[in-house]
Structure 1
Amino acid sequence: MTAVPVALGLPVRRDAAPADGLVDTHGRVHRDLRISLTDRCSLRCTYCMPEQGNEWLARTSILTVDEIVDVALVAASLGVTTFRLTGGEPLLRPDLPEIVRRLSSIEGAEGRVQVALTTNGIRLPEMLPALVDAGLTRMNISIDTIRRDRFAALTRRDRLDDVLAGIAAAAASGLRPLKLNAVAMRGVNDDELVDLVDFAVGVGAQMRFIEQMPLDAGHTWDRATMVPREEILAALRTRWDLTPLPGRGGAPAETWLLDGGPARVGVIASVTAPFCGACDRLRLTADGQLRNCLFSIAEYDLVPTLRGASEEGRAEAIAAQLAACVRGKLPGHAIDDPGFLQPPRGMNAIGG
Structure 2
Amino acid sequence: MAPRTTPAPAPLVDRFGRVHTDLRISLTDRCNLRCTYCMPAEGLDWLPKAEVLTDGELLRLAGIAVHRLGIRTLRLTGGEPLLRRGLPGLVERLSTLGAELSLTTNGIGLARLAPELKQAGLHRANVSLDTLRPERYAAITRRDRLADVLAGLAAARAAGLEPVKVNAVPVRGVNEDEIVDLVEFAVAGGYRMRFIESMPLDAQGAWNREAMVTAEEILGVLGERWRLVPVGRHGNAPAEEWRLDGTPHVVGVIASVTRPFCGGCDRVRLTADGQLRNCLFATEESDLRALLRGGADDDGIEAAWRACVARKGPGHRIGDEGFVRPDRPMSAIGG
Partners of 1:229 and 1:128 in 2: CA distance: 31
Partners of 1:247 and 1:196 in 2: CA distance: 21
Contact 1:282-1:293 at 8 Å conserved across structures: yes
Partner of residue 133, structure 1: 119
Give the one of 27, 37, 55 matched to 2:27. Answer: 37
Give 3-state SS (helix, strand or coil) of 1:245's partner.
strand
Partners of 2:124 and 2:9 in 1: CA distance: 30
Matched, 1:288 2:274: yes
Give 3-state SS (helix, strand or coil) of 2:232's partner.
coil
Partner of residue 74, structure 1: 64
Give the one of 308, 314, 328 matched to 1:345. Answer: 328
Partners of 1:139 and 1:340 in 2: CA distance: 32
Aligned-partner residue type, residue 329 of structure 2: G
Partners of 1:44 and 1:19 in 2: CA distance: 41
Aligned-partner residue type, residue 119 of structure 2: D
Give the one of 200, 207, 212 matched to 1:226. Answer: 212
Partners of 1:68 and 1:135 in 2: CA distance: 16
Give 3-state SS (helix, strand or coil) of 1:23's partner.
coil
Partners of 1:269 and 1:186 in 2: CA distance: 15
Structure 2: gaps (5+ residues): none
Summarize deviations over 1:87-140 as a string: whole Å, max 9, x none: 00000012211121111111xxxxx21110000111111111211111001110
Give the one of 76, 79, 102 matched to 1:85. Answer: 76
Partner of residue 11, structure 1: none
Summarize deviations over 1:49-107 as a string: whole Å, max 9, x none: 1111511111110101110011111110211000000000000012211121111111x
Summarize deviations over 1:226-271 as a string: whole Å, max 9, x none: 0000000000011111111135321010010011431010000000
Contact 2:115-2:156 at 8 Å conserved across structures: no
- Structure 1 moving runs of 4+ over 4 Å: none
Matched, 1:153 2:144: no
**1:128–1:53 Cα change, 3 Å:** closer
Bigger shift: 93-102 or 153-162?
A: 93-102
Partners of 2:260 and 2:43 in 1: CA distance: 33
Partners of 1:205 and 1:225 in 2: CA distance: 27
Structure 1: gaps (5+ residues): 7-13, 107-111
Partner of residue 10, structure 1: none
Partner of residue 16, structure 2: 26
Matched, 1:262 2:245: no
Matched, 1:119 2:114: no
Contact 1:243-1:260 at 8 Å conserved across structures: no
Contact 1:240-1:259 at 8 Å conserved across structures: yes
Partners of 1:314 and 1:115 in 2: CA distance: 25
Q: Normalization by structure 1: what TM-score? A: 0.91
Summarize deviations over 1:205-245 as a string: whole Å, max 9, x none: 11100000000011110000000000000000111111111
Displacement of 1:314 in angstroms is 2.0
Give the one of 236, 246, 249 matched to 2:235. Answer: 249
Q: Normalization by structure 2: what TM-score? A: 0.96
Displacement of 1:20 in angstroms is 2.8
Matched, 1:323 2:306: yes
Partner of residue 49, structure 2: 59
Partners of 1:316 and 1:28 in 2: CA distance: 22
Give 3-state SS (helix, strand or coil) of 1:238's partner.
helix
Aligned-partner residue type, residue 28 of structure 1: R
Give the one of 191, 195, 212 matched to 1:205. Answer: 191
Matched, 1:181 2:164: no
Contact 1:242-1:260 at 8 Å conserved across structures: no
- Identity of counterpart residues, as a percentage? 59
RMSD over equivalenced CA pairs, Å: 1.7
Contact 2:9-2:70 at 8 Å conserved across structures: no
